[in-house]
Amino acid sequence: MEALLPVVKGHPIPSILMCAVLFRAVDQLLQRLPVPKVVQQDKFRAWRWRNLSVSMVHSLLSGTWAVTCALVWPETLKDLHLYHTPLSYLLVCFSTGYFAQDACDIIYTGHARGSWEFLLHHALVLGCFLYTLCTQMYVAGAVVALFVEVNSVTLHLRLLLKLAGAQTTPLYQINKVINIVTYVVFRLLTQFYLTWYILNNYSRLDQPEFFLICMTLMNIMILIYFYRLLRTDFFPQKKTYLTQNGTHNNNSRKFLTD
C-alpha cells in the first residue's frame, strides 16, 4: 500500500482512468450472470439492471471502505480539510474512477437525457474529487462523503427489485424501511455534517465557496429525492405502469427510476 501510494499521488489522472477501466471490466463480468426474464425482454430494463449492478459493487466496496477508514482513523471525522491516510486517498481515487465510468456509460448508451439527475450528481462529485486528488486536500472530507454509499446499497437493491417486478415481496417491504433509515443516517446526516463543517470553518478552508455551492446543490437534490422516496414507497398514488398484456406505458421509465 505504501509503495503504491506515491505512484497514485504522482499520477492521479492515469490512476483514475485505471480504476474506470477496472469498473468497465466488472461491468463485462456482471453481464455473464443470469438476470430475471422480465429484465431481458426490455432494453431499458436490461441497461438499468446492468448499470445498477455495477453501482451496487461500487457501493458495497466504497461504503465499507469509507466507514472502515473512519473507525480505524477517527481523525478522519475531525479534520476533513488536511488529514488523510494512504488507504483513504486510494479510496477517493477508486470511487472517482467509478463515477467517471458511470457517467461515460450513461452518455455512451444514449440515456443522458433521461438520467440528467445522475449526470449532474456525478459532475459535482467528480469536480470535488478531482480537486481533492490533485491537491491532496479534503481527502478526509471525500471519505466522509462516501458514507452515503452505505445507503446506496439499499437504494440500488430497491431499484433492482422494482426492475424485476418484485415490489410486493417481503424483501422489498423490509428493504424500503431499512432504506429510509440508512438514507437519514448515512445520506442526510452525512451531507448536513459536511455542509456544517464548511460553514463552521469557512475562513480557513481552501476554495470554500466552490465546495459550499456543490454541497448546496447536492443537499437540494437529496431532499427532493427523499420526498420522492417517501411518496413512492409509503404514500403511493394509484398509477398503472403496465398494460394488460404486460407491455409498458409511457410512464414505465419514470416508474423504474423513482
Query: What was the pLDDT predicted at 248?
Result: 44
Query: How far is residue 58's CA from residue 73's CA, in Å, rounded to a whole number?
Result: 22
Whether residue 9 contacts residue 89, with contact meaning beta carbons closer than 8 Å, is answered with yes
Query: What was the pLDDT predicted at 8?
Result: 76
Q: Residues 164-176: pLDDT tens digits?
A: 999 999 999 999 9
For 256, list phi and psi in degrees, rounded to 5.
Answer: -85, -5
pTM above 0.85, yes or no: yes
pLDDT under 50: residue ranges of the chain: 240-251
Query: How far is residue 74's CA from residue 88's CA, in Å, rounded to a whole number?
Result: 12
Q: Residues 81-126: pLDDT tens digits?
A: 999 999 999 999 999 999 999 999 999 999 999 899 999 999 999 9
Query: What was the pLDDT predicted at 247?
Result: 43
